[in-house]
């Protein structure tokens, strides 16, 4: 009788535990999330404006990109869809290399803040592992150092474009996760934002490629 009672108790505990475990697993990729991101950032003149005939012109700048990301995911069982927004900054800038100015096609510039608004869709390849693709709108700043012969002043290029990427996310537990992703951005339109009271320039066409390899750690609420 004691053995039967013990078996009944154990079976009842297993019956209650199984739905709880399933609920935890299904909730690994659901809800509001916030994370810090960092990685490698490289900007390069696009194919329509590159200067491959000039070996001395590097045409690119690179550095460290870092920032924050927030999003909301809907776990549909085997699939996950979500919305996200991101704000990053970068250390990429033009430099003098042994007397050779890395002109980048824009002059002396520093990469400024970068905004992203988009969506992602993914498939759960394991209960705690998500493979996803993402895409959306990106707006970036390039800070320009200008000189009129007597004084220096700063202005910025305000660039609009699109971004696409793919990554993998691992749920460390139902509330903590980490991910790694690659994304490509192409900026196709811009304007010059002048200092002071000068109006911004008219919109003009640009072609600028951006490649980033990112890693992040975050929490869900």
In the structure, what pLDDT confidence band is assigned to residue 5 with cuts at 50, 70 and 90?
A: very low
Q: Per the confidence metrics, is the pTM higher than 0.85?
A: no
Please report, for residues 14, 21, 58, 119, 124, the alpha-carbon distance to residue 18 in angstroms, rounded to integers and kept in the order given: 6, 5, 59, 32, 20
pLDDT band, very low/low/confident/very high, at 16 (cuts 50, 70, 90): very low
Q: Give the domain CATH number at 215.
A: 2.40.160.20
Predicted pLDDT at 120? 97
Number of domains in the chain: 1
Range of the domain at 156: 2-220
The per-residue pLDDT for range 92-124, each reduced to its tens digit, is 988 766 555 555 655 678 899 999 999 999 999
DSSP codes joined into one string, 69-106: EEEEEEE-SSEEEEEEEEEEEE--B--EETTEE--TTT
pLDDT for 86 equals 98
Predicted pLDDT at 108: 76
Lowest mean pLDDT among 38-42, 162-166, 180-184, 203-207: 203-207
Q: Is 30 helix (H, G, I), strand (E, B) or coil?
A: coil
| Token digits of residue 93 | 């800038």
Residue 131 has pLDDT above 70, yes or no: yes
């Amino acid at each position: 009788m004691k053995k039967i009672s013990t078996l009944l108790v154990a079976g009842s505990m297993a019956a209650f535990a199984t739905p709880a475990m399933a609920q935890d697993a299904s909730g690994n990729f659901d809800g509001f999330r916030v994370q810090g991101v960092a990685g490698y950032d490289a900007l390069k003149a696009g194919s329509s404006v590159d200067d491959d005939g000039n070996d001395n012109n590097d045409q690119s700048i690179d550095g460290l990109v870092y920032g924050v990301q927030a999003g909301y995911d809907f776990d549909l069982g085997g699939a996950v869809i979500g919305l996200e927004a991101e704000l990053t900054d970068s250390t990429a800038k033009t430099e003098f290399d042994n007397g050779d100015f890395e002109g980048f096609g824009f002059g002396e510039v520093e990469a400024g803040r970068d905004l992203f608004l988009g969506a992602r869709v993914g498939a759960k390849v394991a209960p705690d592992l998500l493979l996803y693709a993402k895409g959306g709108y990106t707006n970036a700043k390039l800070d320009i150092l200008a000189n009129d012969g007597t004084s220096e002043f700063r202005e910025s290029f305000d660039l609009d474009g699109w971004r696409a990427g793919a990554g993998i996310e691992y749920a460390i537990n139902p509330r903590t996760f980490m991910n790694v992703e690659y994304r490509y951005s192409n900026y196709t339109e811009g304007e010059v934002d002048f200092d002071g009271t000068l109006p911004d320039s008219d919109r003009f066409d640009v072609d600028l490629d951006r490649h980033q390899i990112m890693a992040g750690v975050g929490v869900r609420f």
